[in-house]
């Protein structure tokens, strides 16, 4: 029976603490998946050397992985493993509809702007404004998402050497996120669905959302990025201890 899929990438390429803090993430997402009759898939073994292809790029093999494992699917959501979902979060597939959907990322306009300018040369015919820039930590793909993923995989393989140079040595403004924004803009155009920031609250420390645990009251999906990695487990564990009675 086909279900909507929550797909998580848990490859420990550059974060040895991931195997610790993912426990708190998965406690919430497992409960959420059961509540909304969703299926979960966790990519925890690399398809390629993670130095040659970062985990963020490997997640775009999502459909290959589902099919080789015999998993039937409708739509797919790509979700970072450093997120937690609130117990009363609506079904993200119903919120997204059959649209490419995500949340605007404008926490650091310097980072976003320079990343857009740095990757623009790959997409000379695409105009991407910072107000349209989406964070890849929570993306819902439409039913034609497989076709889009095929283009993403080809783009990486066609440009791998230059992309690795930009990622590791020169630009240093992310891995897949900005190229994906360009490609989504070109492929999906005006059908992109920009969700409320409640569905991907990023950089909780920078936005002061951790003060008085405000994030627990105002958001649906909490993204613990931007924190020192050694603090991530402690904050996510503390979050779980504050809210765990709601997941029964």
Give the model confidence (pLDDT) of 118-166 as tens digits.
Answer: 999 999 999 999 999 999 999 999 999 999 999 999 999 999 999 999 9
Q: How far apart are CA 31 and CA 84, in angstroms?
A: 11
pLDDT of residue 17: 81
Tell me: the pLDDT tens digits for 154-208?
A: 999 999 999 999 999 999 999 999 999 999 999 999 999 999 999 999 999 999 9
User: Whole-prediction pTM value?
Assistant: 0.96
- Token look-up 């997941």 returns 247
Specify the DSSP element, H or E, that contains 243. helix 229-243
Would you say residue 13 has pLDDT above 80? no
First and final C-alpha spacing in the chain: 26
What is the per-residue pLDDT for 215?
A: 98
Backbone angles phi, psi at 102, to 5 degrees: -165, -175
What is the C-alpha to C-alpha distance for residues 128 and 235, in angstroms, rounded to an integer?
34
Predicted pLDDT of residue 229? 82
Q: Identify the pLDDT of residue 12.
A: 77
**Confidence (pLDDT) at 228:** 85
Domain assignment of residue 73, given as a range: 3-246
- How confident is the model at residue 15, as a pLDDT? 74
> What's 121's domain CATH number?
3.90.550.10
- 13: helix, strand or coil: coil
Q: Tell me, what's the pLDDT at 14?
A: 65
Kindly report, residue by residue over 52-69, the tens digit of the pLDDT.
999 999 999 999 999 999
Contacts of the segment 109-116: beta carbons below 8 A, 24+ positions apart: 111/173, 111/174, 114/171, 114/173, 115/171, 115/173, 115/174, 115/177, 115/178, 116/178, 116/181
Of 4-8, 94-98, 229-233, the range with the lowest mean pLDDT is 229-233
What count of Cα atoms within 13 Å lies in the side-chain half-sphere of residue 196? 11
By percentage, how much of the chain surpasses pLDDT 70?
A: 100
Number of structural domains in the chain? 1
Strands 193-195 and 101-104: parallel
In angstroms, rounded to a whole number, what is the distance separating the alpha carbons of residues 166 and 78? 24
> For 227-235, what is the mean pLDDT?
90
- Model pLDDT, residue 230: 85
């Amino acid at each position: 029976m086909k279900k909507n899929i929550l797909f998580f990438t848990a490859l420990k390429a550059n974060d040895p603490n991931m195997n610790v803090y993912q426990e708190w993430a998965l406690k919430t997402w497992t409960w959420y998946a059961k509540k909304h009759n969703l299926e979960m898939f966790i990519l925890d073994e690399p398809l390629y050397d993670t130095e040659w292809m970062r985990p963020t790029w490997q997640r775009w093999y999502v459909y290959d992985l589902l099919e080789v494992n015999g998993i039937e699917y409708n739509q797919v959501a790509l979700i970072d493993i450093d997120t937690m979902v609130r117990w009363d979060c609506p079904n993200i597939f119903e919120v997204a509809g059959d649209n490419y959907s995500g949340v605007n990322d404008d926490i650091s306009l310097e980072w976003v702007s320079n990343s857009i300018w740095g990757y623009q040369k790959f997409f000379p015919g695409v105009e991407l404004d910072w107000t349209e820039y989406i964070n890849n930590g929570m993306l819902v793909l439409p039913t034609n998402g497989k076709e889009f993923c095929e283009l993403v995989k080809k783009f990486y393989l066609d440009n791998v050497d230059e992309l690795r140079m930009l990622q590791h040595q020169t630009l240093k403004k992310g891995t897949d996120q900005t190229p994906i924004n360009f490609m989504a803009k070109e492929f999906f155009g005006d059908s992109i669905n920009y969700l409320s920031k409640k569905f991907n609250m990023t950089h909780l420390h920078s936005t002061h959302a951790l003060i008085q645990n405000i994030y627990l009251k105002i958001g649906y999906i909490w993204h613990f990025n931007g924190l020192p990695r050694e603090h991530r487990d402690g904050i996510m564990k503390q979050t779980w201890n504050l809210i765990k009675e709601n997941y029964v």
